[in-house]
Chain A
Amino acid sequence: MSNFFEKSDLSRSEAENIISDTLQKCDDGELYLENSKSESILLDDNKIKNSSYNSDLGFGFRAISDEVVAYSHSNEISKNSLKQSSENLKSTLKSVKGTYNHEIPKSNKKYYENINPIEQKSLNEKIRILNEVNNYLRSKDDNIKQVTANFLGEQKSVEIIRSGGETLTDVRPLIRFNVSVMLEKNGRKETGVYGVGGRQSYDSYLKDDNWKSVCDEALRIASVNLESKPAPAGEMKVVLGPGWPAILIHEAVGHGLEGDFNRKKTSAFHNLMGQKVASEGVTIVDDGTIDNRRGSLTIDDEGTPTEKTVLIENGILKNFMQDRLNARLMKTKSTGSGRRENYRHIVLPRMRNTMMLSGNQTQDEMIKAVDKGIFAVSFGGGQVDITSGKFVFNCTEAYEIVNGKIGSPIKGATLIGDGPSILKEVSMVGNDMMMDPGIGTCGKAGQGVPVGVAQPSILINKMTVGGTKL
């Protein structure tokens, strides 16, 4: 655990006094301290292209009165700096008369270990594996023209000091290992990308030459794409594979169920609580409590322990995801979903691991039920306009389905749909729920946070596929 006051002219008790003095008539607020260490080691074009290390230290001081948030952050943990921030907050919230809410739930559960993954594996060892990845792939296929592989490791220590001196802490490890392959054949180039990661040591993901399966998967996707035909254009049936394609759930309904957009009534879902928003059999949860997952958190960035929040149960909208601010204004409780990219940013309600639970049909049954459509297995990324509800995601591996059979692979295309109605178009839910491999980052208001997704195979009756073949 970091001692944020060790090398500072500011003592913990002085900081506590400034915090309590600043927040005394506010409804909520805290001092958030963060110390993160991260590394990136990149192999590209047959060489170690980059070995870099970052250490980031800073605080964010927040005061909330009714709906108004005042925030100030700095890299200098010092008496002067905290006092200046306090003045900034006070000058924004000139005539406050709230009552500070001291209540914050407690839990002893932890969802990952207190480790520093960067120091658990030597630089030489990481470089050796990256070189092996390069040699392994290039010896497997003569059409390989480019291999990129990288390690990203991080340890983030956070401390939240509330008015009155209550302190909450968390140490969060996170790693990612990615491989990207480019093939070239007969003048045509295609890429395949795959990765793994989560809140454990590098070795938990790489042991027993497991890195080879990551390489094989990237190569397999690139090889499939090399044979792909132009994608069709227009409305058709879509079968989604299990796991990572759940970014459909994340974009189509996840963002629209975040508390802030619903308090402000700018989400297409704001007036649908308790109503049917999905087909029967569709249950969606947002879960921060799964051991070692990329989107899991022991406490959120306001200090609230995370939980498993049921968003949609058997088709009915049950809950929004809440941070403390939006929960208070909507007269409900925080779901432990208050997150921020780092101390530079304010807290927003965000997703953790968003999952559609298994039903009882098989993927085979879904494929057989489609005369003309596509089978989408892997995606690049997605985006949503939460107000109109329209969302997209980009296929990176997909096939056409003709008369109940999987046909040729098709080129990457964007799929577009309407969030509030898409889940009503789900006509089959598979029995094969799978988590994604641990690679997702969600962006909102310029802040990126690590998230996870999961789903079984599903059949969607109607979606627009953005190909070029009419």
Chain B
Amino acid sequence: MVKDQEFLEKKASYCLGLAKKLGATESSVIVNNSVSETVNFRNKKLDESNRSDDLGISITTYIGKKKSSISSSNLLEDNLNILIEKCVETTKNTPEDEFNSLPDKDLLAKEVKDLDLYDDTRIENDQKIDYLKKLESAASNDKKIVNTESSFTQNKSNFILANSEGFCAGYKTSSFTASSVTVAKDEKSMERDYEYSSKCFLKDLDDAGELGKQAADQTIRKLSPKKIGSEKIAIIFDKRIAKGILSTFASAISSSAISRGTSFLKDKVNQKIFSDKINVLDKPDILKGLGSRNFDSEGVKTDTLKLVDQGILKHYLIDTYNGKKLNLKSNGRCGGTSNLYFENGNISFKDLLNSKSKSLYITETIGHGSNIVTGDYSVGATGFLVENGEFKYPINEITIAGNFKDMFKNITLANDLEFKYSTNSPTMMIEGMVVAGK
């Protein structure tokens, strides 16, 4: 069982007390415990079971404007004593930084709302096995499927965040995740694809049969791919890829990239960076939301932010340190975004596919080809050629490239947003990108 609030609070207050005694002027601590149980199947048979019980503590101590931190998985008092002493010693020897401090007291979260993030249901391994049997049977229905791997994970976590200003809060969260990876084969090729579902509550998880069938269908349609020539063409990004473009946007507006001057979106607040129709929201209080939270990793209250309003950038994602550096108040985004999404566009998925006589529909990208300093984007891609709204044939071994500054202004969104991950996008079309192939 995951450790209770009382255990975590006791450890946190012990650390704060000791840090103070040893000479820290301010300090903060996070204690967390996470218990996961996973069962993996392969080709309809049990392949692996895995139980993990992770404890962690991280402490930051300040002496005036000097700061240092330690973390450990060993919560025994002997070990904590050694580490906190080491932390305070290191703090004394670390140079001052005028922007180091705990968050302003008036920005700290005052209340912890119940966002429905914890499901107490315990699912035994035998039930996980039943789910996976059903999933793999649906996934391997077609003879072209030659390998299936699937997994079911139950996770329960609890944490406490406390600081020397009196902040002390935390709560339990849970997640239930199922995934299926399938390999299909024909005379010419072997391809892999996947499907996945993750929810806070067990009862909301996708049906096993549906999930398996979806994974298999998505794999089989990739068989016998072709390579196309190099050309300028409209790209349609499947939702699972479009969300990655939104994540890149989020890292480019993080206050650390902005204050260091290493983002192509520096100094762009109140300027138009997307087309008129684009709105981006970060909404932390969605019930059962995969990214929902009451406060950020410094304890600062998080409110909903409309990051982009009709194409105009309205906010950076600000934490305490970089906020002070930029002369801005923290907006509770230390540690990143919560539930980040593009609002729906006003065109259906079908109409989006139909809007060009020829386009490329991308279902997977590989490589780390997003550069937030320059905005350059270049990745390997897999997908389908679309002609007059129809999927013609699968395509691979191509790259797609552009620069985010141009790409953002050429985005058209469909109206098919769903909350499957913590960052979500409707299907997205970007015109004017370059495909490199033959």
Contacts from A to B (Cβ < 8 Å): 7, 44-45, 47-58, 67-76, 81, 85, 88, 91-92, 123-124, 127, 145-146, 182, 184, 188-191, 231, 233-235, 264-266, 268, 344, 346, 380-385, 387-388, 390-394, 411-418, 464-470
Chain A residue numbers with a CB within 8 Å of B327 are none
Interface of B is mostly: strand
A selection of 21 A-B contacts at a CB cut-off of 8 Å is A49-B97, A52-B69, A52-B70, A71-B48, A72-B50, A74-B52, A75-B55, A146-B260, A146-B262, A189-B373, A189-B374, A190-B373, A190-B374, A234-B437, A384-B366, A385-B366, A385-B382, A391-B380, A392-B367, A414-B380, A414-B399
Interface: B90 (CB within 8 A): yes
Contacts from B to A (Cβ < 8 Å): 42, 45-55, 67-76, 78-79, 83, 86-87, 90, 93-95, 97, 125, 146-147, 149, 183, 189-192, 225, 230-232, 259-262, 264, 364, 366-369, 371, 373-374, 376, 378-380, 382, 396-403, 434-438
Chain A residue numbers with a CB within 8 Å of B400 are 466
Give the residue of B67, B259, B397 whose beta carbon is less than 8 angstroms from that of A418. B397
Q: What's the Cα separation between A68 and B39 when bound, in Å?
A: 11
Q: Smallest Cβ distance from B157 to chain A, in angstroms?
A: 14
Chain A residue numbers with a CB within 8 Å of B401 are 233, 413-414, 466-468
Q: Is the CB of A390 within 8 A of B378?
A: no
Q: Is the CB of A182 within 8 A of B50?
A: no
Known: A57-B73, A58-B73, A73-B53. A68 touches B95 (CB 8 A): no
Q: Smallest Cβ distance from B430 to chain A, in angstroms?
A: 13
Known: A189-B262, A464-B398. A346 touches B48 (CB 8 A): yes
Q: Is the CB of A47 within 8 A of B97?
A: yes
Chain B residue numbers with a CB within 8 Å of A53 are 68-71, 83, 86-87, 90
Chain A residue numbers with a CB within 8 Å of B368 are 380-381, 383, 394
Chain A residue numbers with a CB within 8 Å of B74 are 55-57, 75
Give the residue of A76, A146, A233 whose beta carbon is less than 8 angstroms from that of B434. A233
Q: Is the CB of B46 within 8 A of A68?
A: yes
Other than the given A53-B69, A388-B191, 16 more pairs (CB < 8 A) read A51-B69, A55-B71, A55-B73, A67-B42, A75-B74, A91-B125, A189-B264, A266-B183, A346-B48, A387-B190, A388-B190, A388-B396, A414-B401, A418-B397, A470-B231, A470-B434
Q: Is the CB of A75 within 8 A of B376?
A: no
Chain B residue numbers with a CB within 8 Å of A385 are 192, 364, 366, 382
Residue of A nearest to B325 (CB): A45
Q: What's the Cα separation between A413 and B259 when bound, in Å?
A: 27
Chain B residue numbers with a CB within 8 Å of A391 are 366, 380
Q: Smallest Cβ distance from A103 to chain B, in angstroms?
A: 24
Chain A residue numbers with a CB within 8 Å of B76 are 7
Chain A residue numbers with a CB within 8 Å of B69 are 50-53
Q: Is the CB of A54 within 8 A of B55?
A: no
Residue of A nearest to B264 (CB): A189
Known: A48-B95, A388-B191. A75 touches B436 (CB 8 A): no
